[in-house]
Structure 1
């Protein structure tokens, strides 16, 4: 890596260093945190069968994005560091650095030689600092674009290597024919042989003939024959040394490199496509480069183009086997516009808008959906003028460059040379530099003869002019002009290739070929921005060549770099966490930003701010079902049941397939005492069809939850048979990803209440087999076994196992205490109850249970302490005051006991138990 590439890589790393401590944000959660393909329990083969988000490609709700190589890198990240975000961000930053270095190398091949020093440096600088890259680098999901870009550039560079090896063989073949095939020697005889041996061309032609004929090129590349009998006779008179086979090896080695580079280029294009679909367009860019950088074509070039085109067609056909998904209106509202004119004008304008973001990346957003970009509904919209101007300018530039190339190629065409001119060309060729391999003995580079050190150390004193380990490299000036290869020298070639890098990778995202699930996505511009950087690098380097503009160029470039750098660093901060990201998008896409911000604030416990954000989102866009649902969850948590029910109903109205809304609506109706309505809602939610939904796993889980809620409602009502039927239906419809142990455990509990102990035990065992550390199953199984006197010891073992599995779970100690109390082991039971109450100090029922256990164990003072705790938790509960008065009565604190009894009677006048206890207390006191 040269110093320019290294400097650009270092700059790129420093700019994105502040993303290493960022969290998972936005799409990262679904692609990583909830993606089952990252987990070790998922077979590796699932990566080839699922889409980018972990949904099977055969599922109707699949996103259709097939990027197994990108998901593979996520899985490797998980194996190395779990769900620690910094490792994922580090890989993204390193990929951006590598892409910057590769683009600098690409720029050296594309930009004219006169700008080869300044141009690549500018390209690398702009690509490293461009703010449009922040979403791709700072967001972990952007790795698809980063990986595709790297494979894209590697494929392009490998194809350039293929061209070099291919055309070096082609040029050598053509030169041999030109130098030897056209120089006919009309006279045979010894005099002519002597004259030729004495000529200064002899050594060049003999070595050239050996290397051409030894490689069997007439069979592989077309017939290459030296027609001069003089040359053939001279070669035959020379003794063939054993090292002559080394020449053939060198030629075949170059042929192997030629085809190897072509195969590797196609494989890298495949890797780019498996990272992101746009990667396959590199094959088109490579073909364009091949034809633009050649003054005239030949059959080897056409053969490469045909092979590359065939590979592109095959890859596209394979990719098109994946079904195209259906996206929601919010994702791409223009695609659902009813009028063709609206769709056409808007989609024509969107590439112009994207190009504007590349030129002026000031206003950036994590999402450009909904109405962030108003649709063009009329021909009178002024944005149509911008579209016309953009495409007209693009067409004129392309036409000018193509015309200039055509004129240059036409003017460079020359007539075939005669014998005299060919002879002069041969004289020039006699000064050719020698090249091919190192000596097979000393492995040192050779000139026309063995090196001096080789001759000395190996007694190789031969200075024969027919040394077989010397090959000829013919300089380009010795080639016929109509067969000469060249690197791109003109600005026209560089401009056309820059436009190709800009347009071809972006073409699949234009909505012109097929609809995509977004309007504008900044990370999609990562690869097309390379084309813009190439064009800017060409323009700045051209200005640099004019000395009077150099000062302006330096000032302008420094200002542009500083602006890009500052914007990138500041934009990186927006991607540190979700709150900052969503707040940054409020000016551009307020409904989406406020809706997502409300969810983040709600999870942080900032309920008032979250409610305000949800309501603001609905002011901008009232039909967002997700926001209505999230607002309902928040209101239900605040016990505002009526408002929560209304929010859930609105969510269902705007999206009837939102199964979670049915589940929560049913829960809210149960809490409000509207059980009959809850039954209807939960039954409806359990029967929803999930065809075509984006998140099928969440939908199926919600359907099961609806059945469990329904079963729980029936169970609380004592309708155990209906509860059992609901639980059986849930068990029958369990999706693969849903944890079955909870369903099996509920089935066991219901069967146990129905006295069907044998079947209940089977379900408990099934729950434990599904998850051996499932604590609720340990407890319920222990309670079932405790009903059988002969299995009491076994039951206690299950309680102890639950205690070991969940030493901080209050319910474990509570149920274990119940078991011990039922066995009249009151002292041990009191210890368990006390531990449960300590683990959950705000639980009123546990405090009462602990106090009761203390009283039964004879620990009266401890019982008093826990009764006082219960009264402090529910001061308006008459039962608590009665219990406190009773324990105070037993402890001899009569005055306090009387006060507690009176408070209980105030809260519940006429309570017989309290009146009886108070009467006994008065008897004792008198």
Structure 2
């Protein structure tokens, strides 16, 4: 094979100028490279319009080292996710080169995912051409074999997660520098090493140094990159230096021993550096991340790990079912010797040993064939860090980590196809057709799989469909549904995740946030804390719930505990600010909000709740500015849009309110947005649109009492009292003790002159309000009761209720005005005059008070003249 390739190159050189200079024949190896690169690009063209999905959100969008929120050089001391590597909770994944590439991409692409996808596809094309080049020049495969292996690597669907999923760039970059390090290492040896009868000397130490530098960069792209050092050593030992033949002669293997010591020393330094970066500690994973590593049974661990080796190979040979997450429930543990999967493991062990035996036989010949040995090396070594052999890892199976190992499998498959064609020449066309068919099928699968990675929705829907027993896929899909306002569907998915894996704390916590039943919600928060006592989200949510229920002391202890564990926790600061605000400590609340904004000026939640703070303080203009900032920072922050619309409605800026509310409805057809928009339409005089909006709310959320109350109020104002009564009756049938619905029903019945029935509803509402000690509502209800008595001409009872209202709010103008009017009718003119004057002191331009006072003067003048 080696001689055939040399002959081909000579012939190509001779034929560069042929046909009397009419054309130049391009060398075959360049044609192969171009074909594989084109295939790699074409297969991933449809991935370019993909969004940020799954881990992209944390590693890129929300990573301060990438989006520029953190100082420029902070990526050198932080992990892949932007957390300090020294933090005990850090993932310990130190990949500064990859993070730097993300930061540059983010800067020039202004945060658009399109630029990230373009770079990923280009890097995959580069890796493909490097792999093909290695097959041609280093492994010395025949041209046909190089083309098959290169095309297989270019189109294999196992690479979709690494290429279409942006964070997979870590694997691609590590693979590129891995290949470059290997290529340069071989180039550093004397050119004719393949013809020597002894180990070749290191002719270019500068290239050797460059190879080790690239190995370092590969490791700093992703940890498995360091495995290029043992790969170079083993390839050098078996193929280049032929240690198995020369090991008895010291002078023949001395150059290799020198390289071995040098490279091993560098390897020790790199591993020591990596351990120093991790502060000598491994990342802490949970049972859900890798159940086998938590098993107390040695048998279970060994046989499960063995099966996972087989499963990784199977996934590459038959990639019919691919999923972004293979965690909880996807691959059950092997806990019995009678488990049928042990046969698959045995098949893998036998096949692997046969390959090793073949490598051994070839290595002992005078002219070893490096194809099988190279394939085994390239597959086995890069996957070892992810195999649980050296240390537990944070996943069961991850398709992205198979990006580089698949190069070895592509070599073996391509070489196997070449052998079949050579041994069965009479079936060459059939074998060629089958090979092309397989490549087309794999390329089609890749194109289809790219669509899965197009958006969060498509990715999570695919996960639930492919692995319905995986609790994590249900959990992730539930998170997406929750974020997009599909709360009912989200509840179902969270419940499915908990049913499949009851010890998933975040599923309990997130489900609790969606439940209207406070008791049920707190049950799930407490379940999350039983599983994970330091779960900050559960502590914050349980604390908030307890505070709302009046158990402020216990709730604040939980919030304070979060701030003790994480003093810079923005969510805890927001809750703390809200609590101090409800206690009337406005200044302290403002300090917490300002502190939270200093910690994260772009946090949309902080901006939203700070806007609510100023909304409650009555500074509506400032509130609107903060709401606008919130949804500019996070286009999905539809509640900020709704609150902005409500504030603009209160300011009388109805057209601006309509525009913002309409935008929020494009994100989520939420009831609060529809409710506020319905009121805006009514104030704009667009009554039919207002009615249509509330009818839509009735269809979407027939149990939403607040929006139905507004609907009834509008119907009452339009004089449609019978329809308003029907709506209010529906509310009270679902909740007979709703004081707001009772008060509104009282108004509607009053419009129908059914004051006695109205008073019955109102009395019940007053009793409930007195128990709840809601002074503002009680004041309104007492005034309403007085008005009913006034309309019934039961003036003494009316005066009693108006006076009760004034005791609660001495400055209530309408109460004074009505008391004055009653005294006026009862001819208690002096008392009436006193109340009219109180009204005019507060509102000098009050027309009714002025007119009534003028009438009193006329009456008094008539009495005087008579």
TM range (shorter): 0.5 to 0.7
Deviation for aligned residue 1:679: 3.3
Match of 1:680 among 545, 550, 554: 554
Deviation by residue 1:467-519 (Cα, 9 ceiling, x = unmatched): xxxxxxxxxxxxxxxxxxxxxx643x221121111111011111111111111
Distance in 1 of aligned mates of 2:625 and 2:332: 62
Q: Which moved more, 1:642-651 or 1:83-92?
A: 642-651
CA distance in 2, matches of 1:539, 1:744: 61
Partner of 1:89: 117
Structure 1 equivalent of residue 572 of structure 2:
703
Distance 1:816 1:495 in 2: 72
Distance 1:276 1:495 in 2: 26
Q: What is the Cα deviation at residue 582 of structure 1?
A: 2.4
Give the conservation status (yes or no) of the 8 Å contact 1:595–1:613. yes
Question: Could you tell me whether the CA contact under 8 Å between 1:707 and 1:729 is conserved in 2?
Answer: yes
Contact 2:198–2:241 (Cα < 8 Å) also in 1: no
State yes or no: 1:533 paired with 2:424.
Answer: no
Corresponding residue for 2:107? 79
1:126 aligns with 2:152: yes
The alignment status of 1:545 with 2:422, answered yes or no, reads yes
| In the alignment, structure 1 residue 562 sits paired with structure 2 residue 410 | no
Matches of 1:567 and 1:3 in 2, distance apart?
Answer: 25
Tell me the residue number matched to 1:117.
Answer: 143
Match 1:14 to one of 30, 42, 53: 42
Secondary structure, counterpart of 1:100 in structure 2: helix
Q: Does 1:630 align with 2:515?
A: no
Partner of 1:288: 234
Q: Deviations over 1:684-704 (max 9, x none)?
A: 24214887xxxx79x933433
CA 1:557 to 1:703, structure 2 compared with 1: closer, same or farther past 3 Å? same
Relative distance call for 1:43 and 1:165 in structure 2 (3 A) is: farther
**Equivalent-residue separation in structure 2 for 1:545 and 1:838 (angstroms):** 71
Give the equivalent residue in structure 2 for 1:387: 345
Native 8 Å contact 1:663 1:706 kept in 2: yes
Matched, 1:279 2:156: no
- Residue-by-residue CA offset, 1:804-839 (whole Å, 9 max, x unaligned): 989998988999999xxxxxxxxxxx8679987997
Structure 2 residue aligned with 1:464: none
> CA contact under 8 A between 1:662 and 1:682: conserved in structure 2?
no
In the alignment, what sits opposite 2:669?
Answer: none
Cα deviation 1:407-440 (Å, max 9, x = unaligned): x24xxxxxxxxxxxxxxxxxxxxxxxxxxxxxxx
**Cα deviations across residues 36-84 of structure 1 (Å, max 9, x unaligned)?**
1112232221110000000000001000000011111111121122332
Larger gyration radius, structure 1 or structure 2:
1
Structure 1's unaligned 5+ residue stretches are 175-220, 222-253, 410-488, 747-773, 784-795, 819-829, 852-864, 886-895
Distance 1:577 1:88 in 2: 14
Q: Residues 642, 502 of structure 1: CA spacing in aligned structure 2 closer, same or farther, 3 A cutoff? A: same
Contact 2:162 2:403 in 1 (8 A): yes
Cα deviation for residue 742 of structure 1 reads 10
| Alignment partner of 1:398 is 2:356 | yes
CA distance, structure 2, for counterparts of residue 356 and residue 623 of structure 1: 30
Once the two structures are TM-superposed, the CA of residue 550 in structure 1 deviates from its matched residue by 1.3
For 2:487, the equivalent position in structure 1 comes to 607
- Would the aligned equivalents of 2:608 and 2:627 in 1 still touch at CA under 8 Å? no
Conserved 8 A contact 1:844-1:870: no
Residue equivalent to 1:474? none
Structural mapping, 1:838-877, within 5 Å:
842=675
**1:628 touches 1:648 (CA, 8 Å); kept in 2?**
yes
**Matches of 2:206 and 2:316, distance apart in 1:** 36
Q: For 1:657, what is the secondary structure of its paired residue?
A: coil
Q: Give the corresponding residue for 1:314.
A: 269
Task: Check conservation: 1:152, 1:268, Cα contact below 8 A.
Answer: yes
Question: Is the aligned partner of 1:495 residue 2:372?
Answer: yes
CA distance in 1, matches of 2:113, 2:621: 41
Q: 1:631-674 deviations in whole A, cap 9, x for unaligned?
A: 222223xxx33332333232233222222223323444455xx3
Whether 1:136 and 2:162 are equivalent positions in the alignment is: yes
Post-superposition offset of 1:615? 2.0
Aligned to 1:23: 51
Given the alignment of the two structures, is residue 152 of structure 1 paired with residue 178 of structure 2, yes or no? yes
Distance in 1 separating the partners of 2:378 and 2:458: 33
Distance (whole Å) between structure 1 residues aligned to residue 58 and residue 603 of structure 2: 22
Q: Give the Å deviation of 1:868.
A: 5.2
Aligned to 2:779: none
Judging changes above 3 Å, is the alpha-carbon distance between structure 1 residues 67 and 595 closer, same or farther for their aligned structure 2 residues?
same
**TM value normalised by structure 1:** 0.64
**Aligned partner of residue 283 in structure 2, secondary structure:** coil
Query: Kindly tell me: are residues 155 and 906 of structure 1, through their superposed partners in 2, closer, same or farther at Cα, counting changes over 3 Å?
Result: same
Summarize deviations over 1:839-863 as a string: whole Å, max 9, x none. Answer: 7884599999999xxxxxxxxxxxx
* Structure 2 residue aligned with 1:334: 292
2: CA distance, partners of 1:173 / 1:606: 67
The alignment status of 1:366 with 2:235, answered yes or no, reads no
The 1-side partners of 2:660 and 2:156 are apart by: 54
**Is 1:908 aligned to residue 777 of structure 2?**
no
Q: What is the total number of aligned residue pairs between the two structures?
A: 671
Verify the 8 A CA contact 2:379 2:408 in the aligned structure 1: yes
1:242-283 residue CA offsets vs partner (Å, 9 max, x unmatched): xxxxxxxxxxxx97xx23322221111111111101111112
TM-score (structure 2 length as normaliser): 0.68
Quick check: 1:325 aligned with 2:283?
A: yes
Does 123-132 or 300-309 show the bigger shift?
300-309
Aligned-pair distance for 1:625? 1.7
Match of 1:422 in 2: none
CA contact (8 A) 2:644 2:660 kept: no
Q: Would the alpha carbon gap of residues 328 and 814 (structure 1) be closer, same or farther in structure 2, given more than 3 Å must change? A: closer
CA contact 1:502–1:528 (8 Å) conserved in 2: yes
CA contact (8 A) 2:59 2:167 kept: yes
Match of 1:260 in 2: 206
Change in CA separation of 1:150 and 1:834 when aligned onto 2, cut-off 3 Å? closer
Give 1:319 shift: 1.2
Q: Deviations over 1:372-425 (max 9, x none)?
A: 22212233434334434433432343234323432x24xxxxxxxxxxxxxxxx
User: What is the Cα deviation at residue 779 of structure 1?
Assistant: 8.1
Residues 843 and 880 from structure 1, CA distance in 2 versus in 1: closer, same or farther, beyond 3 angstroms? farther
CA contact (8 A) 1:594 1:616 kept: yes
Confirm or deny: 8 A CA contact 2:67 2:111 kept in the other structure.
no
1:737/1:881 Cα in 2 relative to 1: closer, same or farther (>3 Å)? same
Partner of 1:662: 539
Equivalents in 1 of 2:415, 2:641: separation in Å?
Answer: 68
**1:680 Cα deviation from its structure 2 partner:** 0.7
Report deviation, 1:917. 5.6
Q: Deviations over 1:103-130 (max 9, x none)?
A: 1100012444xx5211110111110121
Q: Name the counterpart of 2:98.
A: 70
* Aligned Cα root-mean-square deviation (Å): 4.6
Partners of 1:839 and 1:52 in 2: CA distance = 37
Please report how far the alpha carbon of residue 301 of structure 1 lies from its aligned counterpart in structure 2 after TM superposition. 4.2
How far apart in 1 are the matches of 2:126 and 2:506?
40
Aligned partner of 2:461 in structure 1 is 583
- Please give the secondary structure, in 2, of the residue aligned with 1:324: coil
Instruction: Name which of 371, 396, 408 aligns with 1:519.
Output: 396
Q: Structure 1 residues 290, 812: CA separation in 2 closer, same or farther (over 3 Å shift)?
A: closer
Gaps in structure 2 of 5+ consecutive residues: 1-28, 247-251, 633-639, 662-673, 685-710, 719-723, 729-739, 764-783, 794-817, 826-847, 849-866
